Structure 1
């Protein structure tokens, strides 16, 4: 059995989301605890302030209209002011603590995700677009930052407040306490109803909703990135926005999903808002009934004023609980998304005890079987092939036959499941990753350039290259005409000030990069796929220069590019079905011969003339 790629964070070892957030905060987690304690202290100060306000009202009512006979009122007023000011100071001190911890947690979370992504197989990025990953990392850290900085301390304060609130309410008058508790109970029930999706359907509960909501946002973000990248195609071929069906469908699906959930939450949300804002609706009639039965109206009215003062606290308290609960749900989903990135299997570097140096640039596949993560069938099954050092070997076959998959295993974009891929007699997993990357240059059919100068794009292959070496690579890749038309030549930044290159021109710049790298092994994945005839001719010249003295493994759909290969392997459904030179395979009458005949027919087909209705 083949060795397995390194694992990320095991799902079984996941901690609770809040505990995981605190872990990301590192040494700053103590500040979060301190901030929450200060938030609780602020809640107590708020209760104490309202109690002091009630004392002022009670004393004034007791001596009305002789206000001067209430000497303690001024003291209670000063105490209320002191509690208000102290609570404000404590609250801001708590926010400073939680913000410091939140910023540290967000920074560590981004760093952990990016550091782990630097160690995952490069093939991982084929299945996870840059737009999707960027949204997860930036969106998740942004959400969790707000949770740690505001929502958690607010939630602690919101928990402390009702406890103190209930104690004080029942201490003054238990009957009025029960009356004021009724809106809180109804509001809480409505919140649970809403968290369950307006009807308790397990498919519409808040956690499921949050997951679906974030999934919808990820799909829209991914579709938006693909749409922007495809704008040049729209302009060239005069297509419309409707041609980008994935982007359009992702927006439509998000709209329908969000609208449906809003409808589900409509009734419980309305009921919750009515309940929490209708304390007076309950308090006034209850007060009238209890006043009629009260023996001492003045004493009753003083107690009644207490509940009038405290009723304003009910709305604020329940609103904080609602928003804090929603934020915690969002944070849980965000942490789980970050965890999924951290769980992606990491690429293990070569074990120093087994590290060896390849003797040459030959490539060998020995009974290789590989299955993509999540796939139900192998992309390659028991594939064996040889590419001698300095030889050019081509992989051909129908779409989906496994050609690109096989080529991606050489630079360890993925690791094999069974069998082994070796270079110079050494398993690629026993070659240090840095050394392996130095030995392999690859040119893909959809190479993209970085938003930096042409020179820096080429220098990416060898950062220590001199200007002269870059210019030599440009000439070898037949890029002189590209550089000549750019406003600042090699120093022109791609993607800035309207400077863009065609697909064929991007391929030639990528070839210049590969030529500069001067690696002994070259992997070519249909390097002329997006080139027009003029660019294709120049690319073929550049490829001839690149392949001199190198071991070349090439994937091609245009069979004319593999006619001169030293050997051709024909793949079908993940298996090698034929092997030989072009002449041998063309004469064998197998799959390659049929593909060659189809290719010859397609390139020789032309329209005879206007109105003839047939082809020659």
Structure 2
């Protein structure tokens, strides 16, 4: 559907809760039990070995005070060195395994997100806007990838180290452990203050980035219209406004993080003071040894490094968490049972099917008035019908519904014996192919691009399709023929050649019904005449619906339907409608005089 149709304001895709995202991660970790178990074990071992030298240091102090022999002190020293070396090795192994596990989870997440987006009904993609979709499978994946490489290993390892160090303090003396635990309420209060306020901010920041992407995409896609109506300033102002919104949210996030760090520092101060006071009291009362009292503040101080690492990577972790909830949220979107382009879905035969539309009414979500009102028309098998009308009359919406994109609020669209409401989108694609003016050539060999429509097609079949649409001459001049790279980084193709490739795909698709929505609108007058001949060749023998951009295209159709404000107001052949003297006749006179 095009921007000329009336539509409701776009809404964003679903965003998962933190619990839903955590359950998804846990479920996929269970699918890799050995890797998950190895990651946890090496992380715990590395943390324990990092704490062990501090405990052994307390033994050294007690040994010196008690006059222990040098051999015992030497043995303890060797154990400290060995623990440090083994701890470093275990920590390195843990970092590697965390990265490996994270990379596997990210790969699965990215695959499922792309699959979910491809499986979403086309109307839903258009409703939310491509900016939100692209920001999730692009920006959010990039943010999460960075977080998995940096923040996630740091937070996980540091968290385990905090737990082990806390257990070590209780191992020295339960009263010293309780003194150190006195800092926990302050830590908890700091997190309780920070998390509920920061998580929504991070989500808002990601949504703002999606809105900025949508503003950029809309402006670039419609650059010709923007220039024609001198709207460059308005588009620039829109992009600037969205960029400032992203910047302001970033500043707000950083401000909250700074206040969080201050609260964490206060918690550390409270814990250290409590340990020193309690340790002094225990030592004075003879309830603890000097080694235990000396090791306790060092053990608590050992917490500073992992806690500091957690704090200074928490910003990245929060961004990763926000991106994770957005990506997992895509899985909650309603999807067709099979992806569009499922290679197992093929038309039962290539015989043309009739198209019957009865009482079709359609309203965009949130819109007050319907775009189409009780539209009824039919196209006999192998026949053609052209839709004409003013901008906003509902032509593109009707064409999309006939192609199976979206569901009408009332009425039906039947292709032969099939009601499109009973088919998923892949099933509809097996019966109907749609070609719009937004054609695209994928980067890669030309043959691969064409085989998107027919994966099993031979080179001979590809060349026949290209010759059918008038592309044989220039394809033969390509340096590597069908193996020539086209698209980004490859052979530069003009608008006419891109459209011919799209028409060649249409020939290869073999669907019995074809819908063409202003598919030659982007070509110049000379190229358009060439493409109109290619369109007729590509649609030969098929039931065809044209959304006519040029009335010469409408003339070539068997019948013409004129839409006005969502209703069919005239229908007949070109000569009948000209003789009628109605809207089509006026359009024809204006077209002929303009030409």
TM-score of the aligned structures, taking structure 1 as reference length? 0.76
Deviation at 1:379, TM superposition (A): 4.0
Does the 8 Å contact 1:140/1:337 carry over to 2? Answer: no
Classify 1:489/1:208 alpha carbon distance in 2 versus 1 (closer, same or farther; 3 Å).
Answer: same
State how far apart, in whole Å, the 1-side matches of 2:505 and 2:349 are. 25
Does the 8 Å contact 1:210/1:329 carry over to 2? Answer: yes
State how far apart, in whole Å, the 2-side matches of 1:588 and 1:372 are. 33
Does the 8 Å contact 1:220/1:251 carry over to 2? Answer: yes
Alignment partner of 2:247 out of 239, 255, 258: 255
State how far apart, in whole Å, the 2-side matches of 1:261 and 1:13 are. 20
What's the counterpart of residue 484 of structure 2? 492
Classify 1:409/1:192 alpha carbon distance in 2 versus 1 (closer, same or farther; 3 Å).
Answer: same
What's the counterpart of residue 55 of structure 1? 59
Asked whether 1:43 is paired with 2:42, we answer no
What's the CA shift string for 1:146-171, capped at 9, x where partnerless? 59962574365155146425525764
What's the CA shift string for 1:332-388, capped at 9, x where partnerless? 4334323332222222469xxxx9989842111122334456766644343322111
Alignment partner of 1:138 out of 137, 141, 156: 141
Deviation at 1:309, TM superposition (A): 2.4
What's the counterpart of residue 202 of structure 1? none
Asked whether 1:164 is paired with 2:196, we answer no
Structure 1 segment 86-235 matched on structure 2, within 5 A: 86-92=86-92, 94-95=94-95, 98-127=98-127, 128-129=129-130, 131-135=134-138, 138-139=141-142, 142=145, 145=148, 150=153, 153-154=156-157, 156-158=159-161, 160-161=163-164, 163-164=166-167, 167-168=170-171, 171=174, 178=179, 189-196=189-196, 205-221=197-213
The number of residues matched between the two structures is: 574
Deviation at 1:539, TM superposition (A): 1.0
What 5-or-longer segments of structure 1 have no aligned partner?
Answer: 1-8, 197-204, 605-616
State how far apart, in whole Å, the 2-side matches of 1:208 and 1:349 are. 34
Does the 8 Å contact 1:184/1:318 carry over to 2? Answer: no
Asked whether 1:557 is paired with 2:549, we answer yes
State how far apart, in whole Å, the 1-side matches of 2:281 and 2:418 are. 96
State how far apart, in whole Å, the 2-side matches of 1:135 and 1:12 are. 18
Question: Secondary structure of the residue that 2:544 maps to in structure 1?
Answer: strand
Does the 8 Å contact 1:368/1:420 carry over to 2? Answer: yes
Classify 1:590/1:259 alpha carbon distance in 2 versus 1 (closer, same or farther; 3 Å).
Answer: farther
Deviation at 1:296, TM superposition (A): 8.6
What's the counterpart of residue 427 of structure 1? 419
State how far apart, in whole Å, the 1-side matches of 2:233 and 2:448 are. 34
Does the 8 Å contact 1:161/1:317 carry over to 2? Answer: no
What's the counterpart of residue 4 of structure 1? none
More RCO (CA 8 Å, sep 6+): 2
Q: Give the aligned CA root-mean-square deviation in angstroms.
A: 4.7
Does the 8 Å contact 1:44/1:161 carry over to 2? Answer: yes
What's the CA shift string for 1:418-457, capped at 9, x where partnerless? 4321112322355687675454333211111111233443
Alignment partner of 2:377 out of 376, 382, 385: 385
What's the counterpart of residue 22 of structure 1? 26
Classify 1:172/1:402 alpha carbon distance in 2 versus 1 (closer, same or farther; 3 Å).
Answer: same
What 5-or-longer segments of structure 2 have no aligned partner?
Answer: 1-12, 340-346
Does the 8 Å contact 2:52/2:80 carry over to 1? Answer: yes
What's the counterpart of residue 567 of structure 1? 559
What's the CA shift string for 1:105-142, capped at 9, x where partnerless? 33332333334444333444444536335316733763
Does the 8 Å contact 2:172/2:296 carry over to 1? Answer: yes
Classify 1:223/1:360 alpha carbon distance in 2 versus 1 (closer, same or farther; 3 Å).
Answer: same
Deviation at 1:221, TM superposition (A): 5.0
Alignment partner of 1:336 out of 325, 331, 340: 325
Asked whether 1:346 is paired with 2:329, we answer no
Classify 1:116/1:17 alpha carbon distance in 2 versus 1 (closer, same or farther; 3 Å).
Answer: closer
Deviation at 1:528, TM superposition (A): 1.9
Does the 8 Å contact 1:397/1:570 carry over to 2? Answer: yes
Does the 8 Å contact 1:505/1:535 carry over to 2? Answer: no
State how far apart, in whole Å, the 1-side matches of 2:211 and 2:372 are. 29
Question: Secondary structure of the residue that 1:394 maps to in structure 2?
Answer: strand
Classify 1:93/1:292 alpha carbon distance in 2 versus 1 (closer, same or farther; 3 Å).
Answer: closer
